[in-house]
Amino acid sequence: MAATQNTRTPLERIEYAIIISTLLLMVVVTVQPLLNLLAISLSDPAKLPGMSGMEILPRGLSFDVWSLLLNHPNVRAGMLNSIFITAAGTVLNIVFTALMAWGLSRPGLPGRRILFLLVLVTIVFDPGIIPDYFINKRLGLLDSYWSVILFKAVNAWYLIILIRFFEEIPQELLDAADLDGANPFQVFWFVVLPLAKPALATITLFYIVFHWNEFFRAMIYITDQNKWPLQVVLRQFVIGGDKLAIVGVDAANNHTGASQIDLRALKAGMIILTIVPILVIYPLILKFFTKGTMSGALKG
């Protein structure tokens, strides 16, 4: 296509300009609402009334909202719960998924085809939330972190991606390790895992995002508010409109503390706060996901 660059007609130039402006408009539409919320959360509360949804720069500068949120017991508990659920969940995900994928990727494994089929069935047939609820109830997981941590402990799609990846590992490497006297566990640990680092990194990021964003299971399975992850706290406050969740009953009655801060700014800050961990790992996501999706994931 480089050859055509010099011979572009005026029409082609106009077409190109339209394409670029459309894409840039898409960028604005995507990012502007987030920047607006950030600006609102950082604005001077006195200047907030009348601030338009179009503005992306804070009016004045104040960290009241952020210091309040970061010191708020519910928000802090939510952050810790989310971090714990995400960390424990992801570790479990990776261990379970990688081990299972390695076994299923061995061509001679007895029962390989039937196991693979049984995994596919779970993608196609999902009996829904009620039987899932009863299983969690029976296993005594209700109101425990484990109901959320164990949910999708092995994601069938990622399992298939990893199986495909393991199948590609050159046989010579495995043979060499075997001749050195390594048992299957050692082969997996010392040969397979190091080779699978890029694939594992991609899937780890998938799992982290999944756990951090999960709210539905936590909402229905965890009744103890002290165990709620951040998403559920956010939901109760912003979607449920339960301002007492953050402001607190005493503060609301006495017009002290959080009740003096604009509710709109509090909500905006809360939304941005929930996104921050995603933003932190986003550069990694861009690096690994884009590569991972390009190679194996499609023919899943």
Partner 1 sequence: MVAQSKQSNLAAIRGNVPKAESDQHAGFLARGIRQWWPYYAMMAPGIIFFVLFHYLPIWESKIAFEQLRIIPPNLWVGLKHFQLLFASPVFWQVLLNTLIISGMKMAFVFPVPIIVALMLNEVRSGSLRKFIQSAVYLPHFLSWVVIAGVFIAALSPSDGVVNDITGMFGAAPKSFMTDTGAIRWVLVYSEMWRSAGWDSLLYLAAIIAIDQALYDAAEMDGANRWQKIWHVTIPGIVPTIATLFILNAGIFLSADLNQVINFTNDVVRTQIDIVDTYVYRIGLQTGEYSLATAAGLFKAVLGMVLILMAHLFSKRLTGKGVW
Q: Is there binding between residue 6 and partner 1 (CB under 8 A)? A: no
Residue 103's Cβ-side half-sphere holds a number of Cα atoms within 13 Å equal to: 12
Count the residues of the shown chain that bind partner 1, applying the rule CB under 8 A. 103
Binding mask 55-74 for partner 1 (x = CB under 8 A): --------------------
Please list every residue from 193 through 222 that binds partner 1, using CB under 8 A: 209, 212-216, 220
Token pair recorded at residue 7: 């011979």
Query: Which of 17, 47, 53, 140 touches partner 1 by CB under 8 A?
Result: 53
One residue of 17, 87, 126, 190 binding partner 1 per CB under 8 A: 126
Residue 109 engages partner 1 in binding (rule: CB under 8 A): yes
Site for partner 1 in 75-94 (CB under 8 A): none
For residues 149-184, one letter each, b for 16 or more C-beta atoms within 10 angstroms of the residue's C-beta and e for the rest, the string is: bbbbebbbebbbbbbbbbeeeeeeebeebeeeebee
| 82 within 8 A of 74, measured Cβ to Cβ | no
Contact 199, 162 (CB under 8 A): yes
90-118 CB burial, b ≥16 within 10 A, e <16:
bebbbeebbebbbebbeeeeeeeeeebee
| Measured distance CA(219)–CA(77) in Å, rounded | 15
Closest approach of Cβ 4 to partner 1, in Å? 7
Least separation, in Å, of the C-beta of 85 and partner 1? Answer: 13
Which of 10, 27, 114, 249 binds partner 1 (CB under 8 A)? It is 27
Q: Which of residues 259-298 bind partner 1 (CB under 8 A)?
A: 264, 267-268, 270-271, 274-275, 278, 282, 285-286, 290, 293-294, 298
Residues 6+ apart with CB under 8 A from 214: 85, 148, 151, 229, 231
Among 13, 14, 16, 256, binds partner 1 (CB under 8 A): 16
User: By CB under 8 A, what part of segment 224-253 binds partner 1?
Assistant: 231, 234-235, 238-239
